[in-house]
């Protein structure tokens, strides 16, 4: 959270997957960083639930996990996530992915 806040981003944090889905349902977000290992509802299931919400079809969802195997990445993409960031997080990689997906979600400059 501190890395994101230091970059000037407004950050909310969910304690688990169910809270993440509830928060997304209640508020519009520009991007979601989804931890894969969460209690009550894992990141894969939370991402699929967010994608099923009316405002969840296009928001970028980036997976974050210590499981950096090809199979894990495939499962994340199949669940509707846009990208995969391995832990421990490399700041340059994180900021690069955030910039890419936030700019892409924003669309062409007017």
Domain residue ranges of the chain, discontinuous segments joined by +: 2-105
Q: The tokens 């980036």 sit on which residue? A: 62
The per-residue pLDDT for 110 is 46
Tokens of 10: 């407004």
Helix (H, G, I), strand (E, B) or coil at 102: helix
Mean predicted confidence (pLDDT) in 45-49: 97
| Residue 36: exposure state from Cβ atoms within 10 A (0-12, 13-18, ≥19) | buried
DSSP 88: S
What is the chain's length? 110
Confidence band of 106 (pLDDT split at 50, 70, 90) = confident
Higher pLDDT, 46 or 109: 46
Closest CA to 62 of 46, 81, 80, 49: 81
Share of the chain above pLDDT 70, in %: 97
Cross-strand partners of 65: 86
Q: Is the pTM of this model over 0.85?
A: yes
Euclidean distance between CA atoms 79 and 23, whole angstroms: 19
Query: Could you give the CA distance from residue 66 to residue 84 in angstroms, rounded to a whole number?
Result: 10
Return the pLDDT at 99. Answer: 94
Architecture category of domain 2-105 in CATH:
3-Layer(aba) Sandwich (3.40)
Stretch 3-7: mean pLDDT: 89
């Amino acid at each position: 959270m501190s890395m994101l806040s230091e970059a000037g981003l407004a950050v909310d944090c969910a304690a688990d997957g169910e809270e993440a889905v509830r928060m997304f349902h209640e508020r519009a977000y520009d991007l979601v960083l989804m931890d894969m290992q969460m209690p009550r509802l894992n990141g894969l299931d939370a991402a699929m639930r967010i994608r099923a919400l009316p405002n969840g079809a296009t928001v970028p969802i980036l997976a974050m996990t210590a499981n950096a195997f090809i199979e894990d990445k495939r499962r994340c993409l199949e669940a509707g996530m846009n990208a995969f960031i391995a832990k421990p997080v490399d700041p340059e990689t994180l900021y690069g992915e955030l910039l890419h997906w936030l700019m892409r979600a924003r669309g062409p400059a007017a």
